[in-house]
Amino acid sequence: MIIVAREARKYNQAKLADELNISQAKLSRIESEFLDIDEELLSKIAKKLDFPLSFFYEPSIPIDTELKLHRKRATLKKQDVSCVGAYTHIFDINISKLLNSVEVDTNIPPNFTFVIF
């Protein structure tokens, strides 16, 4: 979830690592889950990226965030595409939480008629 938070705030690894006073390689290993992160560093990341600490404990569901965009004579920076993808991931997590928190009555009343246009 560190990657999602970082991309949502338009930080690259080098910039975030520099502001946290750690090496970019260390941040990369943490994001790749090759290196465990201590609570203190995670708190610094949460504060720097302005996300609640609990956000980083959310289960991460991999989704395809590659955006297929086409506009004649217009380009979108890779950082902006990553940012949109990160927010899409965050919205997906929040919508899933909302949907899982409610019960939906799936019984259709006997006199209900579907209308197809």
pLDDT in tens, 30-85: 998 888 899 999 999 999 999 999 998 887 766 555 555 555 556 778 888 888 88
The pLDDT tens digits of the residues spanning 89-114 come to 888 888 888 888 888 777 777 777 77
Domains and CATH numbers, the chain: 2-88 (1.10.260.40)
Q: Please tell me the pTM assigned to this model.
A: 0.66
End-to-end CA distance of the chain: 43
